[in-house]
Structure 1
Amino acid sequence: MDNGINPYADPGDGIMDYDLSNPMDLFYTGQASFVREPLNYHLYTQPRPENLQHKYFVSDELREELQKRSESIYITPPSGLDLPEETQGYHSLVPLEPVVGERHNFSNWHSTVYKAINSMDGFPYVMRRIENFRLISESALSGIKAWSRIRHPNLVAVKEAFTTLAFNDNSLMVVYDYHPNSETLNEAHLKSKAPQFINGRLQTQNTRVAERTIWSYVIQIASVLKTVHEAGLAVRVVDDNKILVTSKNRLAS
């Protein structure tokens, strides 16, 4: 039955005169907030047929790990952190550690680690921000430039360093290569882990490290030390909180 009302008419013609500024008006309810749930990565790709379970296909575990890393690269920061939109060509900053409460120290300064995207190449990098750092002379960055020239598969490469006022203070930013979903050596092997349900029973997790894994770590760390010393630099402290486990038994310090 035709009642003379056009449901597709423009709201400004008087037929459907809704107040668009009122968030409670029809069709314009306030924006809802959602709690982000962990993704079920196995939903993205169906299991392989039994007759194709051979070495030419990526394992389910490796596929899940790659999807987790991809999610980490493109994750966006939560609202309300008041982070700068851009600093020295880096944008989309996301904190990789708490920015309030218990803070990590870098020597005598507070520091925070962020993930950011470089506007020039589009790649993600890690930026360590050292707060309230006053640079006396540009020559003070010569040490960082020396580290940026070192290339080693078990060393987190340094890209560059610069100062910025984008955080409303004098901050020193040191940019490194990004290894998504990495853990520190302490988190991976030394820190006590919460019990997990295994076969329906709550069991403590085994933190014992296999001997072959320990030897692999020793060789990788020794190789980095040798390369650094050959470059005329020094590693004064080997800290388990500064060494990353980037993948299975693979270190980057």
Structure 2
Amino acid sequence: MFPGTPPHTKTARAHLTASAAPTTTPAPIIDDSYFVSNQLRLEIQHRNNLTLMQPDHALYPDLPLEVDNYHELCPIEAVGTLPKAHVLGYQTSTYKATHIKTGQHYCLRRVHGFRLPNTKCMVLVDMWKKLSHSNIVHLREVFTTKAFGDQSIVFVYDYHPDSETLLSRHFSQSETLNGYSDSFSSNPNAPRPYSHQKNAILRQQHSNGMLSESTIWSYVIQLTGALCAIHTAGLACRCLDPSKVIHTGRLRLRISCTSVFDVLTFDSTATNPLALIPHYQQEDLNALGKLVLALACRSLMAVQRENLQTSLDLMSRTYSSDLRNLIIYLLSGQQRRSIVDLMPMIGARYYSQLDNVQLQNDVLYTDLAKEMENGRLLRLLIKLGTMNERPELNMDPTWSETGDRYMLKLLRDHLFHQVTEDGRPFLDMAHVVHCLNRLDAGTPEKVCLMSRDEQSVLVVTYAELKECLEQSFGEIVACATGAGISSGGVGGHSSIVASPPGVQSQSSLMVGKQQPLA
């Protein structure tokens, strides 16, 4: 007479017991038909943990409590593990911080000991702030401060938790950046034999492992898209190296530290500060070629001037001629190059990249739809929790135990307090979801509700329960907004088998307009 959980609905007990299971016991498999995929859930939880991480003032006592409009500073990079000179000889530090007014989290890159002579460079900063691209870390603002005990300049960017640089992700930590940062500088040591240089690059390739060509092309497409947006805006990147390009998950790249070089090297005496932009744009293309070559060889030695030909020969053994020709074009300085010229070289690989992005979007959209359904059920539970066991309403201490609220109380027991034949709690999330969905839809399906003393049995439809829920919650909303309606009503339910004393049926009249639960 009263159908239970439909056969296509799986029992979701595993999700209830997963968090309570001991750490030594493997977590049960969770059905993904109800919830977001476990991999995505863990990824988002990890990022949220990093975002909500609080500063340890005992570990970093020198950090100020507030810097301009930001507080709760947490160092992102471990103090003392990186060289002091990061950018043009200046020491830099990176922090996660929270905006005091909005509560949003941002990444603060501080340049130590830099005094800004004037504000003319803010013309370039404003241009960077207007630039928004999916593969560029968005610059929010730039300000100077003495909060750290010196004269520092701080660049504020969007915060992307759990990101890592290409340097730490794809290259050996024992390698230095000296050769990469200035690949055409002369080596102070004696020139090494060709065989020694070749074997050194081969050893690094073997230890680091080769990247797939599809991964490299994905990186190329993303970085060229970012450079195209930058150059179209009349700017130059000037920071395209493995330590400034971050990987934010799922092969997603973003260029960070934008505008830092523009500010630190700004010539206030120049009549036209944008005159050198075309020259810097050519350097961007050269830097892109070196970055792709280093990724193909998995070695920073590959971009040193004396190793270029060796590196090109080695990467030609594994990768296609198209990738080799692209690198040669980027590294050639004989002609005036343009980022647009790379489009024909990439060719049909754009379709593969677009297909991968759209497939990933479909997966995320499916998981989002599940969470939207969970949010809908949460709003129902909030309404029920607001009414059940409420001490009083409008000076009536029996409000939650009489009238429509009594049926909602029995519905609460039907949802959460069922037991097995031997008296053990019956934990079945599928049963809860099944009933809440019918309550939200207001279906004509009937449900049998029983009091705890088993003396009263009510057979009602979900449509009637939904009407009780909406009216009772409307009374609470009206009371909260000052309308102050009273409970009670007229009418009845045709399917009531037995009714306890004092139980009233739902009212057909409700004063005031019910506000939706946000």
Tell me if TM exceeds 0.5: yes
1:52-71 pair list within 5 angstroms: 52-54=31-33, 57-71=35-49
Work out the CA distance in 1 between the residues paired with 2:19 and 2:245.
Answer: 33
Bigger radius of gyration:
2
TM-score by length of 2: 0.36
* Distance (whole Å) between structure 2 residues aligned to residue 192 and residue 90 of structure 1: 33
1:161 aligns to 2:142 (yes or no): yes
Deviations along 1:73-111, whole A, 9 cap, x unmatched? 111223242211011110000011133363351112111
What does residue range 205-216 of structure 1 map to in structure 2 within 5 Å? 207-216=209-218
Query: Using the alignment, how far apart are the partners of 1:241 and 1:75 within structure 2?
Result: 24
Gaps of 5+ in 2: 1-17, 22-26, 175-205, 256-518
Alignment of 1:142-161 (within 5 A): 142-161=123-142
TM-score (norm 1): 0.72
Q: Residue 248 of structure 2 aligns to a residue in which SS?
A: strand
Task: Evaluate the alpha carbon distance shift between residue 87 and residue 70 of structure 1 in structure 2; reply closer, same or farther with a 3 A threshold.
Answer: same
Counterpart of 1:116 in structure 2 is 97
- Matches of 2:127 and 2:153 in 1, distance apart? 17
| Equivalent position SS for 1:172 | strand
4+ aligned runs moved over 6 Å, structure 1: none
Q: Percent identity?
A: 38
Q: Secondary structure at the match of 2:74?
A: strand
Match of 1:184 in 2: 165
Distance 1:80 1:239, change over 3 A: same
How far has the Cα of 1:58 moved from its partner? 2.2
| Partner Cα distance (1:124, 1:107) in 2 | 27
Aligned to 1:252: 254
Structure holding more strand per residue: 1
Structure 1 residues 1-253: aligned runs within 5 Å:
43=19, 47-49=28-30, 52-54=31-33, 57-78=35-56, 79-81=58-60, 82-100=62-80, 102-191=83-172, 207-253=209-255
Distance 1:251 1:127 in 2: 19
Q: Structure 1 residue 144: deviation in Å? A: 1.9
Cα separation, 1, equivalents of 2:124 and 2:88: 16
Structure 1 residue 213, shift from structure 2 partner: 1.2
Alpha-carbon distance in 1 for matches of 2:20, 2:246: 28
C-alpha spacing 1:110/1:216, structure 2 compared with 1 (3 Å):
same
Q: Deviations over 1:91-135 (max 9, x none)?
A: 000011133363351112111001000112111100000011111
**Deviation at 1:205?**
8.2
SS of residue in 2 equivalent to 1:214? helix
| Separation in structure 2 between the aligned mates of residue 131 and residue 95 of structure 1, nearest angstrom | 14
Corresponding position of 1:38: none
Q: Is the 8 A contact 2:172 2:208 kept in 1?
A: no
The 1-side partners of 2:80 and 2:32 are apart by 47
Distance 1:139 1:146 in 2: 13
Separation of aligned partners in 1, 2:102 and 2:156: 14
2:346 aligned partner: none
Native 8 Å contact 2:69 2:99 kept in 1? yes
| Distance in structure 1 (CA, Å) of the matches to 2:116 and 2:38 | 49
Cα distance per residue 1:164-223 (max 9 Å; x no partner):
010011010000000000011122222369xxxxxxxxxx98633221111111000000
Gaps of 5+ in 1: 1-41, 194-203
Asked whether the equivalents of residues 91 and 119 of structure 1 are also in contact (C-alpha less than 8 Å), the reply is yes
How many equivalent pairs are there? 199
Any conservation in 1 of the 2:170–2:208 contact (CA below 8 Å)? no
Q: Provide Cα deviations, 1:45-92, integer angstroms capped at 9, x if missing partner.
A: 96454xx345x6422221111111011011122324221101111000
**Alpha-carbon contact 2:171-2:208 (below 8 Å) kept:** no
Equivalent position SS for 1:138: coil
**DSSP-derived class of the 1:167 partner:** coil
Given residue 166 of structure 2, which amino acid in structure 1 is its aligned partner?
Answer: L
Q: Judging changes above 3 Å, is the alpha-carbon distance between structure 1 residues 205 and 59 closer, same or farther for their aligned structure 2 residues?
A: farther
Question: Does the Cα contact within 8 Å between 1:189 and 1:208 map onto a contact in 2?
Answer: no
The one-letter code sitting in structure 1 at the alignment partner of 2:236 is A
Match in the other structure for 1:22: none
